[in-house]
Structure 1
Amino acid sequence: MSSRASRKEQIRVARELRARQQRRRRTRLVTAVAVGVLLAAGLTGYAVYAAQRVGDDFAVPASATSDRAGLRVGDGPVTVEIYLDFLCPACRAFEAEAGTTIERLVDEGRITLVYHPVAILDRYSSNAYSSRSAAGAGCAADAGKLAGYVTALYADQPAEGGPGHSDERIADLAAGAGIPREPFAQCLREGRYADWVTQVTHAMGEQRVTGTPTVVVDGERLARPSAASLTAAVEAV
C-alpha cells in the first residue's frame, strides 16, 4: 500500500472513531436528561402523595367546610369568606369596623360566613401566637362560639414583636366570650387543631391569597374590605 493510501486509511479510521465517540456522548446526554426528568417527576409525585397523606392525618373541627380549610357560621345563600390572622392589626381594624355588619348578615340568614384562621405572622411573636390562637378558633367553633371568640381576641390583641398571649390568657378570653373554659383550655393545650391550622394556611397559598384580611364574596375578592363594600357585594349577589 502506498504512503498516500495509508494516510487516507488513517484519516478514515480517525473520522470513524470521532463519530463513534460523538454518538456515545449524545447517548449519555439523552440518558442523563431522561433520568433527570423521571426523577423530577417522581419527586413531584411523591410530594403530592406526601401532602395527601398529611392531609388525612389531622383533627378537624366539626364545623369545618368540606375542603377542611375553613369554619362555617350560618347558612345563608351568599358565601362570605374571611382570611384572618389573630395577630394582624389590619384584621383587628376590619373586625372593629365591620364586625357588627357581619353578625347582622349572619343573623338575618343572608350569608354563610367562612372563617379561614391562618398563621402567617408567627415570626412577629416569640411564642407562635398566630398558630395557637388560630388553633383556638377550632376549639371555639366546636363550642358554637366562633364569632364571639374572634371578637374577644381582637378586642385584646397583643402587640407585634413581643410575646403573644399565653394559652391561659387565650382561655380566659374565650371564657369571657361564653365558651366553657376547661374544655376549651384542654383543646388548646393539647394542640388538637395545630395541624389543621397548618393545612388552612397551606390552602391559603393554594388560593393565591397573600395577606390578611382578605374578604371574598361569592368568589370575588373585595379590593378594600369594609362594612360598606361587604354589604354592597352581598346585595349585588
Structure 2
Amino acid sequence: MSENNPDGKRTARERLAEERERQKARDRRRRAVLVSAAVVGVLALAAVGGLLAANAGDDDKKKDTSGPVVAPEGAAGKDGLAIRVGEEGARSTLTVWEDFRCPACKQFEDAYRSTVNDLTKKGQLKVEYHLATLIDDNMGGSGSLRAANAAACSQDAGKFAPYHDVLFQNQPEETDDAFADNDKLIELAGKVDGLDGAAFKKCVDDGTHNSWVAKSDRAFEDAKLRGTPTVLLDGKDIFADQKNPLTPAKLKAAVEKANG
C-alpha cells in the first residue's frame, strides 16, 4: 500500500480481519438467539425484534428449499456439496466457505482473487467452494440463497469461476437484498460470455439448486465453523493466526513450494 495513502497504517489484511470479526459476531448472534423469560423492558423488545428480523421470510425460504436436492454439474467433495475449480491433480487445495452477500467474503475475494485465479490456471491449486446463506439468516431476505443457486446454475454451464467473481465484484450493500431479484442475477450473467442463455435463465427462475444450497448451509452449521469466509489451505485455517495470517504472497509461495 502506498505510503501516501492516509489509511496506510490499516492494511487490507487488517481491514479484512476486522470485517471477519464483525461477521463472526453476527453469526454468533444468529446461532445463539435465546430470549430469556427474565428479560424485560426495552432489552426484551430489542431481542424479540432482532429475532423476528432474522426469521423474516422463513416460510418463503422453506418453500423455496422444499424440493429435491439437485446438485450442480460436477459437484465434488463430501455429499457433493463443493464446486471445484482447478485441476484435480493440483497438489494444494483451498477450501472456501462463502456467502455472496457477506462483506468479509468480498474483501477476501478482492484481496486474493488474482492470486487464486493465477494459481488455478497454472494447475498448482484447486479450490473447493462451499456456499452458505448466513446473511439471509442474519438480515432476512433471500439474496444469499438465490445468488448461490444462480452460481450453481453457472456451474451447470461451465461458467462458475467467472460468474462467481462477477457476483462478488457487484455485491450490493449487506442490508440491500438485491440478489433476491432473479432478473438482477440474470443481468449480471450477461457479463460472462456465453452464460445468459435460456437454460441458465430457467435454472435461476426455477430455483433448481435451492435445496442443494440449503443442504450446503446445513453442512456449514453442522461443522460449527467460525463464520464466512472460512478459508482452509490443505486443511489449515489461513486466518487462525491473526498475528501472522496467510497473505496472497505467502499463499502463492506455499502453493509453489508444494508443487516443487
* TM-score, normalised with respect to structure 2: 0.65
1:204 paired to 2:197: no
1:145 paired to 2:159: yes
1:175 paired to 2:229: no
Q: Look up the equivalent residue of 1:106 and give its one-letter code.
A: T
Count residues with an aligned counterpart: 183
- 1:158 and 1:57 mapped to 2: Cα distance? 30
Deviation track 1:166-196 (CA, whole Å, cap 9, x = no partner) reads: 1011111112122133221210110100000
Higher helix share: 1
Distance 1:148 1:199, change over 3 A: same
- Tell me by how many angstroms 1:207 deviates: 2.7
- Tell me by how many angstroms 1:72 deviates: 0.8
User: What corresponds to 1:61 in structure 2?
Assistant: 72
* TM-score, normalised with respect to structure 1: 0.71
- 1:128 and 1:222 mapped to 2: Cα distance? 29
Instruction: Give 1 or 2 for the bigger CA radius of gyration.
Output: 1
Matched residue of 2:130: which SS?
strand
Gap regions ≥5 residues in structure 2 = 1-64, 240-244
Q: Look up the equivalent residue of 1:227 and give its one-letter code.
A: P
Which structure has the higher relative contact order (CA within 8 Å, separation 6+)? 2
- 96-105 vs 221-230, which deviates more? 221-230
1:94 paired to 2:115: no
RMSD: 2.1
Gap regions ≥5 residues in structure 1 = 1-53
- 2:183 and 2:247 mapped to 1: Cα distance? 32
Question: Equivalent of 1:133, from 130, 147, 151?
Answer: 147
Q: Look up the equivalent residue of 2:112 and give its one-letter code.
A: A
- 1:124 and 1:142 mapped to 2: Cα distance? 29
